Structure 1
Amino acid sequence: MASPTTIQQRSSSISPTSPLQRLSTFKETHINTKPNTPHSSSSSSLDTFSSDPIFSAFLSPDFNSTTFSSQALSSGSAAACAEKLEEGIRLLEKQLRSEVLSRHDDLLSQLSSLKDAESALSIVRSGITTLQSSVRRVRSEIADPHRQIKVKTIQLSNIHQTVEFLQSSVRVLRLIKKLKDLMELAEIEPEKLDLSKAAQLHKEILSLCEENSLSGITFIDEEFSWLNETGNRLRSEAMKVLERGMEGLNQAEVGSGLQVFYNLGELRSSVDTLINKYKNQGIKSVSAALDMKAISASSSGSYGPGGIQRSGTPQIGSGGKAKDGLWNRMNVCMDQIHSIVVAVWHLQRVLSKKRDPFTHVLLLDEVMQEGDLMLTERVWEAIVKSFANQMKSTFTASSFVKEVFTVGYPKLFSMIDNLLERILQDTDVKGVLPAISLEGKDQMVAAIDLFQTNFLALCWSRLSDLVNSVFPVSSRGSVPSKDQISRIILRVQEEIEAVKLDGRLTLLVLREIGKVLLLLAQRAEFQISTGPDARQVNGPANSAQLKNFTLCQHLQEIHTRISTMMLGLPTVASDVLSPSLGAIYGVACDSVTSLFQAMLDRLEACILQIHEQNFDVHGMDAAMDNNASPYMEELQKCVLHFRSEFLARLLASFSTHARSTGAETICTTLVRRMASRVLVFFIRHAALVRPLSESGKLRLARDMAELELAVGQNLFPVEQLGAPYRSLRAFRPVIFLETSQLGASPLIQDLPPSVILHHLYSRGPEELLSPLQRNKLTPLQYSLWLDSQGEDQIWKGIKATLDDYAAKVRARGDKEFSPVYPLMFRLGSSITENAQTPQKI
């Protein structure tokens, strides 16, 4: 250990000048003190411990005594381990004792430094006490001025607030005085009341009171009752002006009313209130129009016993008045809806144009936000929704209203359509949206779709019942009377007349009429008689044919009359009925087509007998014979028979109507086609006659004259047949022309080239075989082939015969051909050229 003398020497060598300095010196001494004795012994002990397998475990930071004990016990040398541990403990104690002894002087030195530190701390403690005393003295000196400043500041703030209150109060009183003067002047001269200025003053007064919290000031609170009354009066007057302007469509009044509410700061709420009011008016109007109790009461004067029945039917005997009352109420409802929608549209129009004169804010922007519905859309949507619900409700609950609106749907639809047209017409202003859109129109029309469906079903039912009664399914042999057919036509006309003022509804009804006409065509087709009886032409008209004639006449009457009705309607309406009218026309034709085909076949059979006649007769007697050929006499007899037994019956009923309208009937069309076919067929086979002498030509010409007379008098006026008649008239002189004159004759322009070519065979040598002879066909077979071929194909067949003839001539060694050969080639070449030349339209 260090001696006291040594410690005293160390202390005197530091010689601090103050306690703080001594404290600092102590800390340095503590930090810089180093042991005098080396650590070799302790280091060697630690090294021994760290290298020892048992003691090294105790140096690990994660040492676990439980784990160590468990390992020691499991190793089987717990006693030896315990002895080693005790030995280590003794070694550590010894080492600690050695360390303390070796550092004895340093420990004593540190103890002396602690004493110096305590002395320094006591000096510092004394200085702190002195400092605290000085601070308390300074605080007591400045506290009183601070308190006085705080009091004066509060006083100044209160004075300033009072001045502001006084200024605001004075301003409010002045504004109230102005408002009172304005209102007193209005009491004397109401027309001079400036509502906009009064509203602006009222709003400014309330804003000042609210912003400056002037409530509680006695003389201002006393004025609040009057201010509230004045505000209510301004609102009431402004609403009157606004509603008057909306009803009278006066933009100036509407703008004045809106400006008042804008100045009051209540524009949006006031407009919303007004819109809700008009919506409620529209809803009430719809409800009142369909109030069956009110309708029945107005029609009968009292409810009487039982009042309205459960089905919504009025009392017995008052149905007519109730019906008239319902329609009158619907008219009133339509007028009210029109007035409401136009008034709201007028309000919306003014809002979209008017701006505040000071802020230049558009009033519509104050009323609506982005994404909001337009004012007219809000009102229209509410009215349409109410109208649709009411219509649906009455359709289900009131059989009376259902029947009235179903039967009178055209009138109901006309009311709705007129309403929509009036609204669109009255709100059609350039640069301004109309009151309702196309979608809005469709919504209103859709509200009565239930009645439209019922109306169309009723239309179908009325017409189909009539058709079923005229053409019953159970009776095939019955033929309707002319009066029954007239009733069907009259019913169709009535259905069209009821809706013709509206194009859309007309198309819907025409579709139902089209369905009925198809049904009628099916039933009529079922009544047509078929079989040999319907096609016989040798005897008088039998019952089956007379039945078919009657059906044809009836169907023709229906087709003609309904087609005439369509003339006054748009083309699209006619297109709707075209398929149905076509079906009627087709069934009418089918009823007599087989008969006409049988008559035509009989006449063609007569004409085919021309090939059994000898037209190569020579001599004066043959030339002077004025009698017709036997086949022509038979044809004339057939035509006379057909006329008297069939055509007279078919054409008689149509003659008057055809003359009055100028229209061609089914039968006249069939007769005209038959007459044209007879002329064409005769010319074809007359051209095939071979050989043909001069006497034969005269006889053939007489046959043509007889044919023209028979057809013109008994079938159809030949002058109206067009090309077939011109061909007949041209062929008669052609047969008398020289072969050399044929090529340049203008007569051949009226004849098909095949007719001229076939006729030229009669002028050629016998070795020039016709296609009929070359192919060994009968006249009927060749005629059927000609019906299915065009002029170019016929020329190919003729050319083949010309080539055969040319080959025979060359085989004989002759150098000259018959004069008809080059002429036929020239005519055939013209056919080919015409076929290759594109037709110009």
Structure 2
Amino acid sequence: MAASPLHRHLSTISPPSPLQRLSTFKDRSNLPPIHSSSSSSPLDAFSSDPVFSAFLSPDFDSARFSSQALSSGSAAARAEKLEDGIRLLEKQLRSEVLSRHDDLLAQLSSLKDAESALSVVRSGISTLQSSVRKIRLEIADPHRQIRSKTIQLSNLHRTTELLQFTVRTLRLSKKLKDLMASSDAEPDKLDLAKAAQLHREIGALCEENGLAGISVIDEEMTWLVETGNKLRTEGMRVLERGMEGLNQAEVASGLQVFYNLGELRSTVDGLINKYKTQCVKAVSSALDMKAISASSGNFGPGGIHRSGTPQIGAGSKAKEALWQRMGNCMDQLHSVVCAVWHLQRVLSKKRDPFTHALFLDEVLQEGDPMLTDRVWEALVKSFANQMKSAFTASSFVKEIFTLGYPKLLSMIENFLERISRDTDVKGVLPAISSEGKLQMIAAVDLFQTSFLALCLSRLSDLVNSVFSRGTVPSKEHISRIILRIQEEIEAVKLDGHLTLLVLREIGKVLHLLAQKVEYQITTGPEARQVTGPASPAQIKNFTLCQHLQEVHTRVSSTISGLPAIAENVLSPSLGYIYGVARDTLTSLFHAMRDRLEACILQIHEQNFGVHGMDAAMDNNASSYMDELQKYLVHFRTEFLSRLLSSSLTQAVSTSSDTICVELIREMASRVLTFFIRHAALVRPLSESGKLRMARDMAELELAVGQNLYPVEQLGAPYRALRAFRPIIFLETSQLEGSPLLQDLPLSVILHHLYSRGPDELRSPLQRNKLTPLQYSLWLDSQGDDQIWKGIKATLDDYAAKVRARGDKEFSPVYPLMLRLGSSLTENSIALQKSF
């Protein structure tokens, strides 16, 4: 092949070029150093000079330098100095040129050779460019041909693909048409899932491969759109039918259709929004006064007022219509919540048979709330807003729901209970949580607050009206208050939480009632007299006590069937009622107790140390006991007969929990205990005195049993009285082993033993020179350990006197009292440790 112009040109310039002859050209860096005629370079002097050093700086600014020179005031001198510097530099430059003259000439010769070589190179480059242009012309035409063929091949390939996709689309379309045609005769046997899958495949082929614009495809697309709409309609019909009937199979089939269509998420979102709207409409419709008016005959001419109040005479119909619509609303909300829960349940179980994808994962993204939560949130929000609006805008609805709040709350709780019961399936989340239930109940808190306030107002107004005139209320008035309280409790007893709230309000009313009674109690001397007949003030106190007793008894009976927590709510108020009721009688019973104790204290004025048969044969009771019996008979006749509706014996046996009976029992126990204490302090006590004291105890037992309380039912005080009678007749040596000691306080035994000891063994009463009343008051305020300390002091004094005389023997009661006293101390210490 002949050499191309490019090769021929390259062969002509292959010999060494003139550039290779530039080896004689030397870099300036290789030049010999310059020797200045002076000892140092001018530049060195310039760098140390304050004026010229500025010119060596890389950021030198001529304008700034000139400005500084002009402002310094010596511009002429500085200009002259600059002229000297220029002359010095020119002189130095001239010296440098002269000293390097030969080297500069040699460099100039090398530059001429280089210029000659460059001209040869330019000629070669021009020849090369000419050759390249020729080559370009030779290859341009083949390139155009290749590019055209490539485009043609690409078009053929794209056309082939379109034909293949079109054929496949037409085949799938025909398959779908055959499927749809076969179902025309039997629509219920249409395989919606398969048809939806074919529809999605056809649509995906057309969209992904750009088949739009192909006439045959465009014709099919029109039919495909109609078919898609039909499949969506049928799929939605199956889905809604399954949700209404809670049929999992139908819901799963409907969801599969929309999954195959690729529209599962949007379809579910649409359903949820639809159910949200149904909830809002159901609540709005239930409280729509215009709709209520229309459904109940328009309430006559005029319908309803702007405030939502029906015309006169139409209230009962409106009330019935409102409650009926609320019931329908609860039913609709129940159906919606259960349907959404059923949908969520199927989504959480259903998987695509081919991809095994869980439908719930396709519908919900991470962090999205559950379907039931979304619907419940909208339901509660709408319900709360409507209730708040009805409370403020419609006085009629406010009144109905306030008066009938227990019914409204029961309706809501039944609705919540139905949902919980109907969606309680093992392994499946419930439709609503506990928090969701509380949100629904909280939506009617306005009516609850109003209901409780109305309850308190009704009861308080009734109490205030009964006590408004300052007179003692009648039994009928008190019965009316109790009946109203029972009605309030009866209205809410089916709901535990509401019952507690109402009981708190009733507690306030009971407190108010007790306060009203407390203001009317008479506490002066007239209320404390026990010698004459019952005064009007005392009769008034008796009536108030009976009223409070009636309230306490009947209210306690009403709540006895409720849980313990309900009783705890009313316990403080009932306790206050009980306390005020006791206060009405406390002064009377205290006065009577003091009177009886004063009679018993006269035992110390009697002579129980007398000896002789005449004293022993005297069967008459002591004078103090006769006086005590007279006071007891008078108290029973004038006071207890008014306090107790029936006979005394029957009253204390059948009404043991009444306040009056409790006070009687306490007083009877105190009389027996007080008598035993002072009988034990009697000293000296002869044999005939013991018989007389035994008769007094028998008379006391009879008097207390007949006039106050059956002594057999008094317990420990009665057993102590029955034990003390034989104790006084026992020999001192027999006392320590007697079982009778178990029924007597050891302090009583110790005090009695003083009567068996010598005169020099003085009792604490004698040692401290106290009156029997003073010593008795001291005994009431002290514990066993302090009592024993007082007794022990007397024993120590006695022992000291015996030792002082030089005697070695003590009275038999001395060691016995020490032993009994030590056991008394041990029992007291054990009792303290037990607490």
Q: Same fold (TM over 0.5)?
A: yes
1:748 deviates by: 2.0
Residue of 771, 777, 782 corresponding to 1:784: 777
TM-score (norm 1): 0.90
Aligned counterparts of 2:96 and 2:791: Cα–Cα separation in 1: 151
Aligned partner letter, 2:192:
L
1:641-790 superposed matches below 5 A: 641-652=634-645, 663-790=656-783
**Structure 1 partner of 2:261:** 264
Residue 549 (structure 2) pairs with residue 549 (structure 1): no
1:628 aligns with: 621
Per the alignment, residue 242 of structure 1 pairs with 239
Tell me which of 797, 800, 806 is aligned to 2:799. Answer: 806
Aligned ranges 1:342-741 → 2 under 5 Å: 342-472=338-468, 475-476=469-470, 478-652=471-645, 663-741=656-734
Q: How many residues align?
A: 816
Q: Does 1:24 align with 2:15?
A: no
- Single out whichever of 600-609 and 816-825 deviates more from structure 2: 816-825
Q: Specify the code of the residue in structure 2 equivalent to 1:398.
A: S
For 1:227, which of 224, 228, 235 is the aligned residue?
224
Partner SS state of residue 736, structure 1: coil
Mean Cα deviation higher: 456-465 or 189-198: 189-198
- TM-superposed CA distance for 1:249, in Å, is 1.1
Q: 1:302 to 1:645 in 2, by over 3 A?
A: closer
Deviation at 1:78, TM superposition (A): 10
Contact 1:297/1:303, CA 8 A, preserved across alignment: no
Q: Deviations over 1:446-487 (max 9, x none)?
A: 111111110010001001001111223xx54x1010000001
Alignment partners' CA distance in 1, 2:754 and 2:593: 28
Whether the aligned pair in 1 keeps the contact of 2:372 and 2:431 (CA below 8 Å) is yes
Comparing 267-276 with 515-524, which one deviates more in the overlay? 515-524
Q: Distance in 2 between matches of 1:256 and 1:150?
A: 55
Q: Please state how far the C-alpha of 1:421 moved relative to its aligned partner.
A: 1.1
Distance in 1, matches of 2:491 and 2:166, equals 76
Cα 1:663–1:184 change in 2 (3 A) is farther
Tell me which of 197, 220, 245 is aligned to 1:200.
Answer: 197
Shift of 1:34: 14
How has the CA–CA distance of structure 1 residues 108 and 505 changed in structure 2, closer, same or farther, with 3 Å as cutoff? Answer: closer
Corresponding residue to 2:285 among 284, 288, 291: 288
Shift of 1:762: 1.9
Give 1:145 deviation, angstroms: 2.6
Write the mapping of 1:44-83 to structure 2, written as runs, cut at 5 A. Answer: 44=37, 74=74
Aligned-residue offset at 1:728: 1.0
Q: Which residue of 1 aligns with 2:158?
A: 161
The separation in 2 between residues aligned to 1:35 and 1:385, in whole angstroms, is: 95
Report the Cα offset of residue 70 of structure 1: 7.4
CA contact (8 A) 2:694 2:725 kept: yes
Equivalent of 2:321 in 313, 321, 325? 325
Match of 1:263, as an amino acid? N
For structure 2, the residue ranges without an aligned partner over 5 or more in a row are 1-11
Consecutive unaligned residues in structure 1, runs of 5 or more: 1-16
CA distance in 1, matches of 2:545, 2:416: 46
CA distance in 2, matches of 1:771, 1:248: 94
For the Cα contact (< 8 Å) 2:299–2:314, is it kept in 1? no
Are the aligned partners of 1:72 and 1:81 in contact in 2 as well (CA < 8 Å)?
A: no
Displacement after TM superposition at 1:157 (Å)? 1.0
Distance 1:266 1:672 in 2: 85
Instruction: Report the alpha carbon displacement of residue 226 of structure 1 after superposing the two structures with TM.
Output: 0.9
Relative distance call for 1:746 and 1:228 in structure 2 (3 A) is same
Q: Is the 8 A contact 1:606 1:634 kept in 2?
A: yes
1:108 Cα deviation after fit: 9.1
- In 2, Cα distance between the equivalents of 1:632 and 1:237? 106
Show the counterpart of 2:6.
Answer: none
Q: In structure 2, do the counterparts of structure 1 residues 452 and 20 end up closer, same or farther at CA, with 3 Å as the change threshold?
A: same
Counterpart residue type for residue 665 of structure 2: R
Counterpart amino acid of residue 665 in structure 1:
T
Sort the Cα spacing of 1:45 and 1:780 in 2 relative to 1 into closer, same or farther, 3 A.
closer
Give a deviation string over 1:136-162, Cα, whole Å, max 9, x none. Answer: 443333333322222221111111111
Cα shift at 1:27: 3.3
- Amino acid corresponding to residue 803 of structure 1 in structure 2: D
**Range with bigger deviation, 623-632 or 451-460:** 623-632
Q: Deviations over 1:261-313 (max 9, x none)?
A: 111100110000000000000100000000001112222346623x3212110
Q: Give the C-alpha shift of residue 134 in structure 1.
A: 3.6
Distance of aligned partners of 1:129 and 1:753 in 2 relative to their CA distance in 1, 3 Å threshold: closer
Deviation at 1:685, TM superposition (A): 1.1
Contact 1:514-1:580 within 8 A present in 2 as well: yes
CA distance in 2, matches of 1:186, 1:162: 36
Letter in 1 for 2:474: S
Q: Is the 8 A contact 2:672 2:721 kept in 1?
A: yes
Structure 1 793/84 Cα, relative in aligned 2: closer, same or farther at 3 Å? Answer: closer
- Distance in 1 (alpha carbons) for counterparts of 2:594 and 2:77: 141
* Alpha-carbon offset, residue 102 of structure 1: 7.6
Shift of residue 317, structure 1, vs aligned partner: 1.1
Return the offset for 1:492: 0.6
After TM superposition, list the pairs within 5 Å mapping 1:78-157 onto structure 2: 113=113, 117-118=115-116, 124=121, 127-157=124-154
Contact residue 286 and residue 390 of structure 1 kept, 8 A: yes
For residue 349 of structure 1, what is the amino acid of its counterpart? R
Task: Measure how far apart 1:53 and its partner are.
Answer: 9.5
Deviation at 1:754, TM superposition (A): 1.8
Shift of 1:189: 1.2
Identical aligned pairs, as a percentage? 71
Alignment partners' CA distance in 2, 1:682 and 1:547: 32
The letter of the residue matching 1:345 is W
1:217 alignment counterpart: 214
Measure the CA separation in 2 of the matches of 1:78 and 1:789.
Answer: 121
Pick which of 631-640 and 89-98 moved more: 89-98
Could you tell me which residue of structure 2 aligns to residue 252 of structure 1?
A: 249
Given the two structures, how large is their TM-score scaled by the length of structure 2? 0.90
> Following the alignment from structure 1 to structure 2, what is the Cα–Cα distance between the partners of residues 409 and 416?
10
C-alpha displacement of 1:31: 4.7
With over 3 angstroms needed to count, the CA separation of the structure-2 counterparts of 1:253 and 1:657, relative to structure 1, is: farther
User: Of the candidates 294, 311, 321, which is equivalent to residue 315 of structure 1?
Assistant: 311
Aligned residues of 1:658 and 1:665 also touching (Cα < 8 A): no
133-142 vs 149-158, which moves further: 133-142
Offset of residue 820 of structure 1: 2.4
Question: Aligned with 1:165: secondary structure?
Answer: helix
Question: CA contact under 8 A between 2:596 and 2:628: conserved in structure 1?
Answer: yes
Q: Supply the distance in 2 between the matched residues of 1:71 and 1:463 (Cα, whole angstroms).
A: 104
1:170 aligns with 2:163: no
Cα distance in 2, alignment partners of residues 530 and 284 from structure 1 = 66
CA separation in 2, counterparts of 1:751 and 1:69? Answer: 130
Preserved CA contact (<8 Å) 2:600 2:624: yes
| CA displacement at 1:93 relative to structure 2 | 11
Mapped to 1, the partners of 2:805 and 2:484 lie a distance apart of 82
